[in-house]
């Protein structure tokens, strides 16, 4: 057993799970009597451990991690024991195999490098086109799509995103979409989009005759909000795609739609990503809001993933927001569609206030204009609503992203909460000091 306990969950479940066994991983500081204290708790409850392994922690150098098995007949006592370990001793515990719904936590990435593990677990490969796709009968376009898919398939975190030499036909398609949409942005797009767009033109090569490179755009976003792009070879599952947002990583396509229909695409393409998504990811409030959606998805049950994905659809993809007395578009699906950007602000669709309890279960069409759109008061207000919604998700912990280590911290014991409190205290000290200086 090597690596982080959450990283190894899939391996352990496949290799060591037995129907009559319960498996746990916990970590302890390296000090005399630490393990004996934990084992005494099991002994007092008359629980017999059938297997135990240890290894130095790769996360905290002063800790050891222990993997244990115990008889499933002890399951009724386990909840109290885990609570004691977490709250009274400060042990980090991860349960792997007990058959109890509320404790069955799906695997999720703990480090930004973990995104490599599922980046290629795609639902459809980039070169695979449906029969009704405009490029289905075009062998040159299909071969080109495979080139883009292969670039993404071979990408790993930390590598520069390979630059692409786009063809004249591809640049012509981009130019048509760029030119038409840019005429609508001043009147239809939200302030944040219009504020960032000139910066993208200045620093990232956004022009009618040039398709920006993902690497250049990703570097720009990192300087603005810490968001970054990662090339993807096809469609990811909702769970995997949302998990990327928790690390401020957006999985982006690099190919462009078929030139025969420049104003239509049946799937996300580089026009959708760069014209629709990227400008908003450069805004601090929107970046925080998007990350909150990703954090809410980590370890969530499947039925809640569907709800969170629906919230994403009606906000990040097709969201509207108030701007004074007017309503503007901020969803990428709107900002990258000439037709729907006009339609969404007409008197044809139904407009409702953003209510996540209702929005999360709203059915929606994928291949036609939306019959209903939801309006957010502000990105800050939407972010708070996502946080409240996340608190209703049945998972036995909370999570926090540490931008210094680029890790997800699982807040499920006294030690983690103490570290969080100290971090908040330090930030509050900085705030109080700054307030005194400007008072």
Residue recorded with tokens 């302030």: 191
Give the range among 105-114, 116-125, 195-204 with minimum mean pLDDT: 116-125
Angle of helix 284-297 relative to helix 302-312, nearest 10 degrees, comes to 160
Asked if residues 192 and 332 have their Cβ atoms less than 8 Å apart, the reply is no
Give the confidence band of 69 by pLDDT, cuts at 50, 70, 90.
confident
135-159 pLDDT tens trace: 888 889 989 998 998 899 899 999 9
User: Pick the catalytic residue: 94, 251, 258, 277?
Assistant: 277
Does residue 51 have an active-site annotation?
no
User: Is residue 320 over pLDDT 70?
Assistant: yes
Per-residue model confidence (pLDDT) at position 153: 87
Q: Give me the percent of the chain exceeding a pLDDT of 70.
A: 90
Residue recorded with tokens 């006294």: 414
5-31 pLDDT tens trace: 333 332 223 333 344 667 777 777 777
User: In the structure encoding, which two tokens stand for residue 386, read together?
Assistant: 């996502």
Does residue 157 have an active-site annotation?
no
Does residue 215 have an active-site annotation?
no
User: Pick the catalytic residue: 94, 188, 251, 272?
Assistant: 272
**Over the Cα atoms of the chain, what is R_g?**
24
pTM: 0.77
User: In the structure encoding, which two tokens stand for residue 205, read together?
Assistant: 């090569």
User: Is residue 33 over pLDDT 90?
Assistant: no
Q: Collapsing DSSP states into helix, strand and coil, what is residue 199?
A: helix
CA distances from 256 to 26, 180, 318 (A): 47, 16, 21
User: Is residue 4 over pLDDT 80?
Assistant: no
User: Pick the catalytic residue: 57, 252, 290, 336?
Assistant: 336
Does residue 54 have an active-site annotation?
no
User: Is residue 243 over pLDDT 70?
Assistant: yes
Task: Calculate mean pLDDT across residues 223-248.
Answer: 94
Separation of alpha carbons 337 and 257, rounded Å = 12
């Amino acid at each position: 057993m090597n690596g982080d306990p959450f990283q190894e969950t899939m391996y352990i479940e496949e290799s060591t799970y037995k129907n009559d066994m319960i498996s746990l991983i916990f970590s302890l500081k390296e000090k005399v009597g630490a393990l004996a204290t934990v084992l005494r708790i099991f002994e007092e409850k008359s629980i017999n451990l059938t297997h135990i392994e240890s290894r130095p922690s790769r996360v905290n150098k002063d800790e050891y991690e222990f993997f244990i098995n115990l008889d499933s007949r002890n399951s009724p006592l386990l909840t109290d024991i885990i609570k004691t370990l977490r709250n009274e001793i400060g042990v980090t515990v991860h349960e792997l195999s007990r058959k109890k719904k509320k404790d069955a936590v799906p695997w999720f990435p703990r480090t930004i490098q973990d995104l490599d593990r599922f980046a290629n677990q795609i639902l459809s490969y980039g070169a695979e086109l449906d029969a009704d796709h405009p490029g289905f009968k075009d062998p040159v376009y299909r071969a080109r799509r495979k080139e883009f898919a292969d670039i993404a398939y071979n990408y790993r975190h930390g590598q520069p995103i390979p630059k692409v030499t786009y063809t004249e036909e591809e640049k012509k398609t981009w130019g048509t979409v760029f030119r038409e949409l840019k005429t609508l942005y001043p009147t239809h797009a939200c302030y944040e989009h219009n504020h960032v767009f000139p910066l993208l033109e200045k620093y990232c090569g956004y022009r009618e005759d040039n398709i920006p490179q993902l690497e250049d755009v990703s570097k720009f976003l990192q300087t603005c909000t810490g968001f970054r792009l990662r090339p993807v070879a096809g469609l990811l599952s909702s769970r995997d795609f949302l998990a990327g947002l928790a690390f401020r990583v957006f999985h982006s396509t690099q190919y462009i739609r078929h030139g025969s229909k420049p104003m239509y695409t049946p799937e996300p393409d580089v026009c959708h990503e760069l014209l629709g998504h990227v400008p908003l990811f450069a805004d601090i409030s929107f970046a925080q809001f998007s990350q909150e959606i990703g954090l809410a998805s980590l370890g969530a049950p499947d039925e809640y993933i569907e709800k969170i994905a629906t919230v994403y659809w009606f906000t990040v993809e097709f969201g509207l927001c108030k701007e004074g007395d007017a309503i503007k578009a901020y969803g990428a699906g709107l900002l990258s569609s000439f037709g729907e950007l006009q339609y969404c602000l007409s008197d044809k669709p139904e407009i409702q206030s953003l209510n996540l309890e209702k929005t999360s279960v709203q059915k929606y069409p994928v291949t036609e204009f939306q019959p209903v759109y939801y309006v957010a008061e502000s990105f800050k207000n939407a972010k708070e609503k996502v946080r409240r919604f996340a608190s209703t998700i049945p998972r036995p912990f909370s999570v926090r992203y540490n931008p210094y280590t680029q890790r997800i911290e699982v807040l499920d014991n006294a030690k983690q909460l103490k570290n969080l409190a100290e971090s908040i205290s330090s930030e509050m000290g900085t705030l109080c000091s700054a307030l005194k200086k400007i008072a």
